[in-house]
Amino acid sequence: MKLSVCATLISLSLLVGCQSTPSTDNSSLSENSSNPSSDIAKSTNHDAADSVDIICPQLGIQPVTVAVSDLWADGEVVTDAYTGRIAQVKNGSVTLTPSRHSGGLLLLESKKEEVPFQWKNATFYHIATDRFFNGNSWNDHSYGRQKTAQGFQGGDIAGLTQKLDYLAELGVDVLWLSTPLEQVHGWLPGKNGNYPEYPYAGGATLDWTQLDTNMGTEQEMRIFVDSAHQLGMRVVWSVDTVPSEPSLADLQQFNIQPQDASELPSYWNEWQPKDGQNLTNYLDAFKDENGQIPQWWSPAWSDPSSDGNISTPEFFANKPVTNVAQVSRAKNEVLTQWITTWVAKFGIDGVVLSDSTPQLTQKIEASASKAFELWKTHNQYKALESSSFLVVDLNEKESFKPQIVSMQKNKEQCFSQFTYRLSTTEKSHDLYAINWFEERGLDELSEANYSEYRDTASALLLSQGNLAIWYGDETAKSGEAYSEMNWDQMTGLRLSLMSHWKKLLAFRANHSALSDGEYQVIENNSYYAFIRKNKSDNVMVVYTGE
C-alpha cells in the first residue's frame, strides 16, 4: 500500500523536464604546485582517481597544517566553517584544529556564496506526515478510523506548520510530503493478508479532489505552504495516479451492497476471515462474476494503456463531500485537471508521481507548470525567487537512479574511503539518501556507534548532486522507517548528531561547488582532503581521523 522505503527515499534524481548537466569548471588543477608544500601534497582529479591510495588518517583532533595553494594564495584568509576559526595562508598552507564534534573534519572556505535555488542541487526532506507531529487531535479519528500499530497516529498539516522553524533551522530546501489526498477510509490487507493496514503514508487514493481529513483542512494546508515559502522552503507532494481497491468502510459509507449481507457484521470494517481465509478475502461478498465491484473505480482507471473515455465511478453520487463530477472523459485529462487544481489553489512547488505513464506525466507537467506560473502572477508576494514547477515520475527509469548511503554496508570503511568511493562512482544525477533501516535496521544510537552515524551523515551531506533526508535521519530516529518522529528523544547524543547535520547542511547551502563541482583528491601521507570546484565557487574538505 505505502511506497517502499527505497521508492520513497531514493527514487528521485529529479528532474523530469528540468534536469540539466551540472556546470563544472573542467580546467584541471596542477598536479604539482611550486610552493614548498608540493613535495608532500598533490591534487588528483577524478579521471586519475583509480591510482589514488586512500588512507585512513590517524592524526586525530590536533592542529594540522594543510596545503591549500591549489585554491588560495598566500595572504588570503581561510575559515573552517565547522568551528568558525580562521587562518591566513602562509607558504601555501594553513594550520587549523578540527572540532572534536566533527569527527576530524575541517570544512575550508574563503567566502560564502549566494547560491540561487536549483532543483538539481536541492536538499529534500521526506516526511510521512502522519508520523511527524500531531498538531490537531480533533482529526485523529476521521472517517471512523481507530489508532492501530499499522494505522494513523495523528500527524497532520497543522503539526507540520508547528515544526517549520525546526525544519528551517535544520537547513533543508524542499519539504517532500506523503500524499495529503483523501485515502480509503478503512483498512486494507497488509503483506500476505496477515494484518490490516491503513494508508497513513498514501498508496490508496480515494478522491483526488479532497484532502484527507486526517491530514487537515484546506485552510491549514494554505497556511502551511505560505509559511514554508516565507521561510524559503518549497513544498512537494507525493501523488498516486491509480485508484485503490475499496475498504469495507468505504463500501458501507457509500451504500455499495454485497451479494450476501450475511457474510458481514453490522459494522463492515470489523469483518474477520473464516478458517482457510485471510484478509485478502475481504471483498469476496461484493465482487460480480468478473471479479469486479461495478460501482467502484473500473479496471480502466488502473490500466496504463487505457486512452479512451471512461466514466467516473458511480459511488461518488453517494459521497457527501467531493468535487468529482459524473463525466465520461479521457482518464489522463481528468487526473491532470484534479492534480492541477491543487497547484492553482495553494502554489505547491511540485509533485512526485507514482504509477504514472509518460503521457500522463507530460500532461501534468504542462498543465501544472502553467497553473504554477499563473499562481505566481497572482501571488507575487508569496512566490519564491527562481521558482519553477517540478514533476518527478517514479516510473521513469531515465529520471532517477537509486543510491543509498548505508551504514550497514560501510562499517569496514573509514570516512575517507567511504567518501572517496561515493565521489568517484559514476552518477547520472542520482539522489543520495541515508537509509538507517535496511532489513532489521541498526542498533539504537549509543556512545559505541555514534561515530558511525555521524560519519555516514558526513559522507551523505558532502556528496554531489541532490540529497534526500528521510524524516528523523538527523536524530537517528528509532524503529522502522515509518516510526513516529522522535521529538521526545532530542537530547544528549541525538542533539549532538543533529547539531552536526546542521553545520554540514549550512556549509552545503553556502557552496554550489559541493553539489556540482569537480572532485579532486589532495594526496597526503597524514590526512585526507578533497577539493570541489566549479566556475563560481571552491571548497576543501579535510579529514584527520579521530
What are the tens digits of pLDDT across the range 86-123? 999 999 999 999 999 999 999 999 998 888 898 988 99
Cβ–Cβ under 8 Å, residues 154 and 130? yes
| 59 confidence band (pLDDT: 50, 70, 90) | confident
Phi/psi at 535 (nearest 5 deg)?
-70, -25
Q: What is the pLDDT of residue 414?
A: 72
Residue 307 has pLDDT above 90, yes or no: no
For the residues 294-303, what does the mean pLDDT come to?
A: 95
Please answer whether residues 107 and 539 qualify as being in contact, where contact means their C-beta atoms are separated by less than 8 angstroms: yes
According to DSSP, the β-strands at 205-211 and 309-311 are unpaired
Map residue 469 onto helix, strand or coil: strand
pLDDT value for 284: 94
Beta strand extents in 201-282 (DSSP E only): 205-211, 234-240
Average pLDDT, the chain: 85
* pLDDT at residue number 156: 98
Residue 191 predicted with pLDDT over 80:
yes
pLDDT at 367 exceeding the cut of 50: yes
Q: What is the mean pLDDT of residues 295-306?
A: 93
Task: Tell which residue, 534, 538, 515, has the closest CA to residue 14.
Answer: 515
* pLDDT at 1 (0 to 100): 59
The three cell numbers locating residue 302:
488502473
Distances (CA, A) of 336 to 179, 208, 273, 329, 365: 16, 10, 38, 12, 9
pLDDT the model gives residue 53: 67
E strand map for 247-349: 309-311, 328-330
Mean pLDDT of 392-407: 67
pLDDT confidence of residue 212: 98
pLDDT at position 153, please?
Answer: 95
Q: What are phi and psi of 267, to 5 degrees?
A: -105, 105
Backbone angles phi, psi at 440, to 5 degrees: -90, 5
Alpha carbon separation from 344 to 119, 236, 368, 413 (Å, rounded): 20, 14, 8, 49
- Given pLDDT bands bounded at 50, 70 and 90, which one contains residue 52? low
Copy the grid coordinates of residue 448.
559505541
Q: Under a CB-based contact definition with an 8 Å cutoff, are residues 406 and 378 in contact? A: no
- Residues near 476 by beta carbon (within 8 Å), at least 6 away in sequence: 436, 445, 453, 493, 494, 497
- Give the cell for residue 203: 498508496
Residue with more model confidence, 28 or 237? 237
More confident residue, 237 or 7: 237
| pLDDT value of residue 360 | 96
Q: pLDDT-derived band of residue 8, with 50, 70 and 90 as boundaries? A: very low
Q: Which domains does the chain have, with CATH numbers?
A: 119-393 (3.20.20)
Residue 523 has pLDDT above 90, yes or no: no
The answer to whether 453 and 497 are in contact (CB under 8 A) is yes
Residue 113 confidence (pLDDT): 83
* Unique residue bearing C-alpha cell 574511503: 417
pLDDT at 281: 95
- In this prediction, residue 408 carries a pLDDT of 60
pTM: 0.89
Confidence category of residue 405, pLDDT binned at 50, 70, 90: low
Question: In the block, which residue shows the cell 479532489?
Answer: 209
The phi and psi torsions of 419 (rounded to 5 degrees) equal: -65, -40
Measure the CA–CA gap between 212 and 224, rounded to whole angstroms: 15
- Report d(CA 533, CA 539) in Å as an integer: 7
Question: pLDDT (tens digit, 9 = 90+) per residue, 118-157?
Answer: 898 899 999 999 999 999 999 999 999 988 888 999 999 9
Phi, psi of 453 (to 5 degrees): -60, -45
Q: Confidence class of residue 4 from pLDDT cuts 50, 70 and 90?
A: very low
Calpha distance 221→230 (Å, rounded): 14
C-alpha cell belonging to residue 39: 613535495
pLDDT exceeds cutoff 60 at 13: no
Q: Is the pLDDT of residue 50 over 60?
A: no
Give the pLDDT of residue 93: 96
Helix (H, G, I), strand (E, B) or coil at 453: helix
In DSSP terms, which residues pair with 519 in a beta bridge? 532
pLDDT at 398 over 70: no
Closest CA to 247 of 188, 315, 287, 195: 188
Confidence label for 235 from pLDDT (cuts 50, 70 and 90): very high
What's the gap between Cα 132 and its chain centre? 14
Q: How would you class 140 by CB atoms within 10 Å of its CB: exposed for 0-12, middle for 13-18, buried for 19 or more?
A: middle
Q: Tell me: the pLDDT tens digits for 152-188?
A: 999 999 999 999 999 999 999 999 999 999 999 999 9
Positive or negative: CA dihedral 478, 484, 488, 491: positive
Q: Is the per-residue pLDDT at 40 higher than 80? A: no
- pLDDT for the residue numbered 81: 97
- Work out the pLDDT band at 411, boundaries 50, 70, 90: low
Q: According to the model, what pLDDT value does residue 387 have?
A: 84
* 325-335 confidence digits (pLDDT tens): 999 999 999 99
User: Which residues have C-beta within 8 Å of that of residue 157, sequence separation ≥ 6?
Assistant: 129, 135, 180, 211, 215, 216, 217, 220, 221, 224
